[in-house]
């Protein structure tokens, strides 16, 4: 009986894809109206806007991760481990690449999965714009593994300095450069300063907070160029107070092992380099036979259907979706993916009921930037309030609530409240920073 049900295949277990699979499982899978399958290359999910906290060590990813197998069981959908690498639109099948174990031996052979309706929500990766040396010498924060690698490298510097105590009387500074002063770059810079203070408090004091030299580089003329200037102003002040060096108005021309070369000729010393500028969709999307743009995003209509195949949908960062304003695209933001997941869950139910699809209209509810424990800045936008500027503890509270809303969409209200209680208890029994 299950095989005769309409097959809805969701590829990508990021915030949008996982929310969609969960909603469809509860509405369609539980009632045996469709077979919902989620595909992802990893076994667990962590909210991508938290990766800068994983990198700094402020967040222990093993405690905040969600297991796809368990989520599927609890919410009446199926999970398949795999990475999409091909599409056969005539046969309505996707191809999943072979999976190897830690030794390089094939664990799962290449295979295909069939669908009646396909949803692609594979997100985006950082765009280094083919800058010479960037791929070889920069760290990226696209995945949990990358964020954890950065944390290990940073912690190793502290442990090395601590082990040399008594051998040298001088402090060796850490020169760290962050390319891109968007939300990720700004939040990472503040989080790293917070981590430096905690590391000193835990006794790793051979590298003082003032010895962590952070340079934030932005090709545009100001930090947070995609957000209103009234937000970037207070953020710039806080970063300056923390000692972050801001270099704006000149892109990175070349990356070397121990420095960056800017287009204006300036050389920036850096032993650790994080590239956090720009996005692009995964390269494989350009080879699926669907329309894509120059950064590999799938072109979709406002119903979120791809332009060449009405049975294939795409949303989130990997989709180029027009807004209701001429010539503009929906920005690659978490709130857009959340809105689109809600609309697509409703549209797929409407498809099964033979009803016409609704069109997506982007609604900007504002922007919030977290500056770790130091501050938060942002604006909220709504029909009743208009645009309200927030700063400090109130802005921080709203910022945290965004993650709680994501948890509620996945776990429900009751379990999210239990998670909040567990987090509060954990703060009193565990280190405030991951020290391994």
Residues 134-150 pLDDT 10s: 999 999 999 999 999 99
Burial class (CB in 10 A: 0-12, 13-18, 19+), 257: exposed
List of residues 6+ apart from 237 with CB closer than 8 A: none
CATH number of the structural domain 2-124+281-352:
3.50.50.60
Question: What pLDDT score does 3 carry?
Answer: 59
With contact defined as beta carbons under 8 Å apart, do 72 and 44 qualify?
A: no
* Fold topology of 134-274: FAD/NAD(P)-binding domain (3.50.50)
User: Could you tell me the pLDDT band of residue 326, with boundaries at 50, 70 and 90?
Assistant: confident
Question: What pLDDT score does 375 carry?
Answer: 78
Question: Span 13-36, mean pLDDT?
Answer: 96
Question: Span 405-427, mean pLDDT?
Answer: 84
> What is the rounded distance in angstroms from the CA atom of residue 400 to the CA atom of residue 370?
9
Question: What pLDDT score does 384 carry?
Answer: 45
> What is the rounded distance in angstroms from the CA atom of residue 99 to the CA atom of residue 119?
22
Question: What pLDDT score does 398 carry?
Answer: 80
Question: What pLDDT score does 372 carry?
Answer: 82
**Residues 224-245: tens digit of each pLDDT:** 998 888 889 999 999 999 999 9
> What is the rounded distance in angstroms from the CA atom of residue 73 to the CA atom of residue 29?
11
**Residues 26-54: tens digit of each pLDDT:** 999 999 999 999 999 999 999 898 899 99
- Domain spans of the chain? 2-124+281-352, 134-274, 366-429
Question: pLDDT higher for 83 or 172?
Answer: 83
With contact defined as beta carbons under 8 Å apart, do 36 and 8 qualify?
A: yes
Instruction: Name the average pLDDT for the chain.
Output: 90
**Residues 195-221: tens digit of each pLDDT:** 989 888 888 888 888 889 999 999 999
> What is the rounded distance in angstroms from the CA atom of residue 116 to the CA atom of residue 59?
39
> What is the rounded distance in angstroms from the CA atom of residue 162 to the CA atom of residue 160?
5
**Residues 347-386: tens digit of each pLDDT:** 999 999 999 999 999 988 888 888 887 778 887 765 444 5
- Nearest Cα neighbor of 402 from 50, 20, 21, 24 is 50
Q: Which backbone phi and psi does 123 adopt, to 5 degrees?
A: 70, -150
pLDDT of 67 > 90? The answer is: yes
pLDDT of 1 > 60? The answer is: no
Domains 2-124+281-352 and 134-274 share a fold: yes
- Report helix angle 15-24 to 68-75, nearest 10: 30
Question: What pLDDT score does 58 carry?
Answer: 87
CA 224 to chain centre: 17
2-6, 89-93, 143-147 — which one is most confidently predicted on average? 89-93
- Say whether pTM exceeds 0.75: yes
CA distances 86 to 62, 82, 95, 224, 286, Å, are 31, 12, 5, 36, 10
Question: What pLDDT score does 167 carry?
Answer: 54
CA distances 255 to 126, 179, 250, 374, Å, are 16, 10, 14, 31
Question: Span 140-166, mean pLDDT?
Answer: 88
Burial class (CB in 10 A: 0-12, 13-18, 19+), 27: middle
Question: What pLDDT score does 387 carry?
Answer: 65
Question: What pLDDT score does 386 carry?
Answer: 52
């Amino acid at each position: 009986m299950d095989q005769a049900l309409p097959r809805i295949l969701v590829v990508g277990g990021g915030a949008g894809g996982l929310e969609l699979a969960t909603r469809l499982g509860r509405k369609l899978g539980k009632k045996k109206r469709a077979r919902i399958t989620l595909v992802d290359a990893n076994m667990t999910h962590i909210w991508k806007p938290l990766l800068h906290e994983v990198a700094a060590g402020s967040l222990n990813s093993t405690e905040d991760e969600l297991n796809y197998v368990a989520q599927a069981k609890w919410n009446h959908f199926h999970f398949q481990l795999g990475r999409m690498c091909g599409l056969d639109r005539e046969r309505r099948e996707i191809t999943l690449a072979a999976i190897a174990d830690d030794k390089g031996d094939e664990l799962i052979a290449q295979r295909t999965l069939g669908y009646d309706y396909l949803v692609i929500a594979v997100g985006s990766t950082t765009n280094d714009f083919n800058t010479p040396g960037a791929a070889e010498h920069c760290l990226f924060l696209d995945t949990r593994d990358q964020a954890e690698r950065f944390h290990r490298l940073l912690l190793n510097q502290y442990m090395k300095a601590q082990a040399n105590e008594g051998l040298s009387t001088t402090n060796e500074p850490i020169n760290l450069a962050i390319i891109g002063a968007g939300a990720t770059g700004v939040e990472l810079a503040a989080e790293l300063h917070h981590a430096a203070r905690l590391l000193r408090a835990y006794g790793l004091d051979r590298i003082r907070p003032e010895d962590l030299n952070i340079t934030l580089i932005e090709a545009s003329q100001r930090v947070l160029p995609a957000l209103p200037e009234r937000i970037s102003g207070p953020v710039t002040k806080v970063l300056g107070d923390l000692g972050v060096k801001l270099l704006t108005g000149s892109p990175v021309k070349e990356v070397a092992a121990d420095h960056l070369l800017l287009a204006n000729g300036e050389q920036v010393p850096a032993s650790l380099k994080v590239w956090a500028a720009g996005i692009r969709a995964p390269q494989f999307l350009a080879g699926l036979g669907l329309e894509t743009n120059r950064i590999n995003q799938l072109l979709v209509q406002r119903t979120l259907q791809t332009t060449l195949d009405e049975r294939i949908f795409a949303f989130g960062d990997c989709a180029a979706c027009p807004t209701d304003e001429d010539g503009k695209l929906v920005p690659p933001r978490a709130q857009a993916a959340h809105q689109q997941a809600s609309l697509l869950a409703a549209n797929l139910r409407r498809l099964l009921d033979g009803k016409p699809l609704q069109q997506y209209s982007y609604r900007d509810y504002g922007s919030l930037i977290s500056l770790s424990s130091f501050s938060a800045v942002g604006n909220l936008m709504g029909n009743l309030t208009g645009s309200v500027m927030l700063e400090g503890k109130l802005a921080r509270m709203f910022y945290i609530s965004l993650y709680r809303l994501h948890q509620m969409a996945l776990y429900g209200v009751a379990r999210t409240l239990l998670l909040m209680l567990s987090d509060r208890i954990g703060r009193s029994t565990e280190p405030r920073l991951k020290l391994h």
